[in-house]
Amino acid sequence: MTVYRVLYRGSLSSCNYECGYCPLAKTRNTRDELQQDAHQVERFVDWVATAGRSLGILFTPWGEAVVHPHYRRALVRLSRMPHVQRVAIQTNLSGHLDDFSSAGRNALAFWATYHPTQTTLARFIRQCRKLEEMRLRYSVGVVGLRENFDTIAELRRRLPPDVYLWINCFKNDPRYYRADDLSFLREIDPYVDLNRVDYPSRGATCRAGDSVFSVDGHGNVRPCHFVDRQIGNIYRDNIFALLAPRTCPNVTCECHIGYVHRPDLDLYWLFGDNVLERIPAGWPLVQPAFTQARTAVGSARCPCQEK
């Protein structure tokens, strides 16, 4: 049975953290904006309840959502729906986690990120322990800046071995990492090379727009967050009838939440049912076939290098 994977990004655009590299740092939504976002999220959850399909849902907010009660309520409610195979959220893990004690353990998972300039390692690990006590699964991501390497090593030591720690590579300068830097990063994250690449994508076959789609706060559907072509609207259309195989119009696909859905990269095989929360199936078992970037595959499908 097809599991449709939905990437939801509503109107939220604020964060309680102030990471120097992030455009959302120091942004705040007004009370009215938050109320509108809460209404949109609730409407989306109501739609999921009646969608009649097997679904996986990843919340990819602009900013931090778990600090807001309406997202916590939505996650718990979705996790308890029998046809929701998975519901996950990208979060800095700073919010109240106790609300998840009544969540469906099989469905709910977290794509957590650690931000060393914004919180202490001790506090972040305490939040991780809470998830473990509730038997909720999570991955942890951290930006692979060289000045973070000691912290990354300590984070790896303090996380349980069965928690996948992934590195968000710095890609702006191809000479940024020395050979010994890459050796270190590969010890932490054997799959780090997969995200050192901007995958050529124009003309590539992609599940986005077919079994994967992006939904905004108004219910508008696009193939993914990076392709601005509206397919329909979940509140107006039978969206499942409008989905179909498509090819990518963009020159490159640069973000895991996009390229993970490219059939030619075969990453569903690596992540299995955990594709939304970014946990490799069978982790900490490492799949050697995936420890190198899949550039050969991407280049073969789409040779244009126009970037």
Using the minimum distance from each CB to ligand SF4, give the nearer residue, 22 or 125: 22
Using the minimum distance from each CB to ligand SF4, give the nearer residue, 7 or 136: 7
Q: How many CB atoms lie within 10 A of CB 226?
A: 19
**Min. distance of Cβ 158 from ligand SF4 in angstroms?**
20
**Min. distance of Cβ 276 from ligand SF4 in angstroms?**
13
Looking at 14-68, list the stretches that DSSP marks H as alpha helix, in order from N- to C-terminal side.
31-49
**Min. distance of Cβ 112 from ligand SF4 in angstroms?**
11
Q: Which residues is 111 bridged to in the sheet? A: 90, 139
**Phi and psi dihedrals of 171, rounded to 5?**
-110, -5
Residues of the shown chain interacting with ligand SF4 in the complex, contacts defined by CB under 6 A: 15, 17-19, 22, 24-25, 63-64, 92, 115, 201, 204, 206, 208, 223-224, 226-227, 248, 250, 253, 258-259, 261-262
Under DSSP, is residue 286 helix (H, G, I), strand (E, B) or coil?
Answer: coil
CA angle centred on 89, ends 85 and 134, rounded to 5°: 75
Mutual orientation of helices 69-79 and 31-49 as an angle, nearest 10°?
Answer: 10
**Min. distance of Cβ 16 from ligand SF4 in angstroms?**
7
CA trace torsion 168, 12, 218, 45 (10° rounding): 80
What CA–CA distance (Å, rounded) separates 142 from 154?
12
**Min. distance of Cβ 170 from ligand SF4 in angstroms?**
14
Choose among 157, 252, 132: nearest CA to 202. Answer: 252
Using the minimum distance from each CB to ligand SF4, give the nearer residue, 56 or 223: 223
Using the minimum distance from each CB to ligand SF4, give the nearer residue, 24 or 81: 24
What CA–CA distance (Å, rounded) separates 252 from 229?
16
Using the minimum distance from each CB to ligand SF4, give the nearer residue, 55 or 208: 208
**Min. distance of Cβ 95 from ligand SF4 in angstroms?**
11
Using the minimum distance from each CB to ligand SF4, give the nearer residue, 136 or 206: 206
**Using an 8 Å Cβ cutoff, are 73 and 108 in contact?**
no
